[in-house]
Amino acid sequence: MSSLPRCPVSLCLLATIALSGCDDPPSIDRSGPVAEWRSYGGDAGGSRYSPLTQITKENVASLEVAWVYHTGDVDDGRETRLGTAFQDTPILVEDTLYVCTPRNRVIALDPDTGEERWTFDADVSTEGMYIVTCRGVSYWLDEQIAPGDACREKIYMGTLDARMIALDAKTGRPCAGFGDDGVIDLSQGIGNRYPGEYGVTSPPALVNGMLVTGALVLDNIRVDAPGGVVRGYDAHDGRLRWSWDPLPPGVSFVETTDESGETVRYHRGTTNAWSVFSVDPGLGLVFVPTGNTAPDYYGAQRDGLDYYSSSVVALEASTGEVRWHFQTVHHDVWDYDVPAQPVLFDFPGPDGPIPAVAQATKLSHLFFLDRRTGEPIFPVEERAVPVRGVSSEVLSPTQPFPTRPPPLHPETLTPDQAWGLTPWDRHQCAEKIASLGYDGPFTPPSPEGWIQYPGYFGGTNWGSLAVDPERKLMVVNSSRMAGEVYLVPRAEADAKIAAAAARGEDAMIEPQAGTPYAMRRTFLLSPWGLPCTRPPWGVLQGIDYTTGEVRWEVPLGTVEDLAPLPIPWKLGVPNQGGPIATASGLVFIGATMDDYLRAFDTETGEELWKGRLPAGGQATPLTYRTHRGARQFVVIAAGGHALMQTRLGDAVVAFALPE
């Protein structure tokens, strides 16, 4: 066996330099600002903006993994119906990072090292649950409790099984003085619930001593689904202070009992508010994004209960009274609910700043409203849309369209716009598009089937958007995947559901019980399982919010983790999660179906860096710096999303510049 030849010392030194890299690690500027991330959206108004400047456009390429924490909470469907989705955005308050896991564990970590400080397990049952996730927790300083006493600092978490839990932020122990030993039963007054039909996936809002929460309702199950009441509780002791039953003006509900004997205080089947709220303490308002009145795809039996559906609603924080509401879709029968947290910002009006709210929707419509009145800042047009639905349905003849920013999603889809890797699969897609038909985003539902584009997935979803007030830019991500949807006549649907149940299978039909039609939906795909629509299938856009103009658009994500071969083809991919912005001119976002966290130039959309994740990053990141001597960290939950079929895991990953 021969030995490797020896080299002169000088050549070996050159080789060592070449292998290790010629550039020294960037020096870390420790003189800049420090900042927390106290709320799910960075602040109470959901701006997702940080004043931090340590990580810059010049040094972001040097980011590396600083620490990783594994929660131990992940399931691929063997314990839950479909599997878990780690959509959490942790919060950083003072010197502690608070994480919630899909099955409602709360974990407190050292933010600089990832070391565990305490854990709390809500011990939820996930029987029958379709969505298994926790998007975040909330923090509140209770000034009614003396400094140093237990539960002066509280962490609140809503649970999948409809509880609101208050924990001591220092120890993780339930707060005995809140509710019933730290717990409010949110199912009180709701009435009969199927397993997994009613629960909380988003953090509550805290404003002026009030804790405000809605709940997720599975709204494709039945006409008389649990009601979508929003309630305000005393944040100190958990007493119910008010409830907003989203009924049309002049309509009231009388308390009754259901067939099981449960008390029903809130009208069944009303629109629910499952996403994240924003608050303006100065105006005393809570901004509520609403979903649909049950069921999603057939509305002939709603009897006006969708008055507040697919809207942003401003509630008085002290009373729950409606100050104003703005509806983004009339008589929504497309599941185009408002999924994104309303974002509060100052719009530069001609006579000075206008307190505004930006509301993104699944249609990728973006409405700028005066948050005092709900009046649009830019014109909104009511445009005629098709109304040829099933005979029993009465569709709205017009729908609201924002003029600025313009709709951020394509609104045409014709057979000659079909996409495929080869002429054969492109032809198959063209035939499918021609047979189903597409007449814009409000194509009426029918038993013959129709194309929904944007799809039920979005457009923009719960990730919302980020605001950079220095550059007067908003950054928003969205998906561009079409859906193929069918109304299924009741007798046919019931027979298929029964036959599938006898085989121990899922019929993949949403029942919409109590109506003449069930519903079946899937993505519009070629025979090879690829989208029939042209890429990009996911984009990131920068919008000048002073003019409403789209300044830049780039594909978001690659097919590296989707294709049979790991080719990083920048086609843009569907995404769930949202962006954050920093004062140094960077946007960070995961969200994509490839396993990366990315950094972009806020002003141009140029991708500057990407860091590999151990699982799907279908969550919104956060950034913080705890003290002057510390590094700036960018942290993301990397645990995947079962419904998106991304890689599942349980990691919280922190990136920073090298020491």
Residues designated catalytic: 335
- Sequence-ordered list of residues with C-beta below 8 angstroms from that of 183, at least 6 positions apart, any chain: 163, 164, 165, 166, 174
202 vs 497: CA distance, rounded Å: 31
Question: What is the DSSP code string of 81-130?
Answer: SS--B-----EEETTEEEEE-TTSEEEEE-TTT--EEEEEE-----TT-S
480 vs 539: CA distance, rounded Å: 8
Give the strand order in the sheet containing 240-244.
Answer: 205-207, 210-213, 230-234, 240-244
Exposed/middle/buried for residue 317 (C-beta within 10 Å: 0-12, 13-18, 19+): buried
**Can you tell me whether residue 632 is helix, strand or coil?**
coil
How many other CB atoms are there within 10 angstroms of residue 600's CB atom?
27
**Closest to 140 in 3D by CA, of 175, 115, 116, 107:** 175
* Full 3-state SS string of 260-300: CCCEECCCCCCCCCCCCCEEECCCCEEEEECCCCCCCCCCC
Beta-bridged to residue 513, according to DSSP, are: 222
410 vs 553: CA distance, rounded Å: 13
**Residue 456 CA, distance from chain mean position:** 13
β-strand 580-582 against 49-50: which pairing, if any? parallel
- Sequence-ordered list of residues with C-beta below 8 angstroms from that of 261, at least 6 positions apart, any chain: none
DSSP secondary structure letter of residue 563: S
Question: What is the DSSP code string of 388-431?
Answer: ---TT----SEEEEESSSPPSS-----GGG---SSHHHHHHHHH
Contact by Cβ (8 Å): 432, 532? yes
Amino acid at 553: E
Amino acid at 560: E
Q: Give, in degrees to the nearest 5, the angle at Cα 531 between 527 and 535.
A: 145
499 vs 455: CA distance, rounded Å: 28
DSSP secondary structure letter of residue 247: P
277 vs 291: CA distance, rounded Å: 13
**Closest to 320 in 3D by CA, of 212, 226, 238:** 212
Tokens of 654: 């922190």
Contact by Cβ (8 Å): 76, 642? yes
315 vs 324: CA distance, rounded Å: 7
**Closest to 156 in 3D by CA, of 43, 38, 4:** 38
β-strand 450-452 against 138-141: which pairing, if any? unpaired
The residue assigned the tokens 């009465």 is 394
**Residue 418 CA, distance from chain mean position:** 29
